[in-house]
Amino acid sequence: MTFNGYRRADGSAGSRNLVGVIPTVVCANDVARAIVGQVQGCVGFFHHQGCCQLPPDLERVTDTLLNLGKSPNLGAVLLVSLGCEGTDTDRLYRELQAFGKPVEIVRIQESGGTSKAIAAGTDAAQKLLLEISGRQRVPCDLSDVILAIKCGGSDATSGMASNCVIGYVADKMVDLGATVVFGETTEFIGAEHILAKRAIDENVAEDIFRIVREMEHRAESLGCDMRKGQPTPGNIAGGLSTIEEKSLGAIMKSGTRPIRGVLVYPESATGRKGLWIKDSPGREPEILTGMAATGAQCMLFSTGRGAPQGFPSMPVIKICGNLHTYERMANDMDINAGTVILGQKSVRDVGEEVFALMLEVLNGRQTKNEALGYFGSIDIHTLGPVI
Amino acid sequence: MEEFFALQVHLKDNVATVFASPEKGSCVRVDDSNGASRKIEIKDDIPYGHKIALTEIAEREKIFKYGEVIGRALRNIEPGEHVHVHNVASLRGRGDLAAEIAGEDRHDI
């Protein structure tokens, strides 16, 4: 089974052909934003990291930005550097170039300040856009797809409808030879024993227990009950009483296939097949970024309360399990899975609707949040303090 | 009379999720995973998507949904009562208790 995608130098296949404007540090966001506002076909990644962090976090930021830049949905990359950041900007540029990605860099301090950097960056982005804008879509196999899956703004319908629908599609994609990645380690707490049983071997099972232990330890380190942080006030208003209940519903979206391994947060899933876990928190800015860095061309996102956001370089399909939310927020929600709760449609029926829409989106159809440009929820998950 | 309905996901569960917003005193039809139904009179107003108790649940007894433990009762709960954060505690991510029970089995909280 095929979709029409953009074949990249490394053999990957993109569902979009964008110029990614990547600030290498939070302090470069304003210049990057001006460039994105001027040049068509550009998307910006306005994160808040890259300076005054400990070396392991700076490396994590560099690696995440690198894998974001390598995403098959980006035809070219413009790096916007301030000049004194902790991110390894030179490595970023060098490795993107070696990867075969058309890449340019503008340095704000070296350019002579804001207005000069905006001018230089605008010229560079325009050149990159002209270079890639004539690329044609070609038939690519569905096994080239890395599908990210997530739930956000969950309520009681998520674990009984929309996540089950995503689970159906996840299984189908794994069977078609694709890569499927899910994360939200916080939302394994209380359900990790079920996931561990699906691990391909003891090492992977131990990895699953370990990442949950580490995440739970971080949550407990402030000496309070994590409720309100997780589950969130919205989850609680939607009927979810404990993190265990939220987790047991959340893991439904991973389907039933064996779990092949755990990826660290910045890691790409390129070259891997089957079902994988990305170790990440559940909060949207961090996991959306982490999933795009995975190399995912598309994300299926389940919600009950109504989480509207997408991601600049990765189309995000919203599947809503709550009929009332779907009716209230129809311009944000792509698929209505509330019919599953009412018994009007089966998980399989709605799963096939999602699969059909996903194929269209891979072919270029825009998702609702993409059409609205609702994709500013971006950040990189770091572990240590800001110092 | 309007019929309200609830789902019991697993036969082991002692709670069901109500997909309606019935008022106290209403009768709710609970469908279980085998397709069987029973009726329960509810003892509180229930918001959409919230849970009711299917059986008597004693204080400290485990709450089951999806056939798995989702927490522990903070007090005795009657069938038809609203089951939520006011009468259920999580057993996980409890930094408040971790200090007190360091080294003990968390499930004995």
Contacts of B47 in chain A (CB under 8 A): 237, 239
The stretch B79-95 carries a mean pLDDT of 96
Contacts of B50 in chain A (CB under 8 A): 156, 239
Domains in chain A, ordered, with CATH? 18-132 (3.40.50.2300), 142-371 (3.40.50)
Q: What is the pTM of this model?
A: 0.96
- Helix, strand, coil percentages for chain A (3-state, nearest 5): 45, 20, 35
pLDDT at A307 over 60: yes
Does the beta-carbon distance from A156 to B17 stay under 8 Å? yes
Question: Is the pLDDT reported for residue B104 higher than 70?
Answer: no
Determine the distance in angstroms separating the CA of B39 from the nearest CA of chain A, rounded to an integer: 18
Total domains present in chain B: 1
Quick check: B32 pLDDT over 70? yes
Number of C-beta neighbours around residue B12 at 10 A: 13
Is A244 close to B69, i.e. CB distance below 8 A? yes
Domain holding B103, by residue range, is 4-108
Q: Sorting pLDDT into bands at 50, 70 and 90, what band is B98? A: confident
**Terminal Cα-to-Cα distance of chain A (whole angstroms):** 50
pLDDT band at A140 (very low <50, low <70, confident <90, very high): very high
Is B2 a residue whose pLDDT tops 70?
Answer: no
Statement: residue A211 has pLDDT above 70:
yes
Whether the upstream peptide bond of residue A231 has omega within 30° of 0, thus cis, is yes
- Strands A138-141 and A2-7, bridge-based pairing: antiparallel
CATH of residue B68: 2.30.130.110
Helix (H) or strand (E) holding A179: strand A179-182
| pLDDT tens readout for residues A82-100 | 999 999 999 999 999 999 9
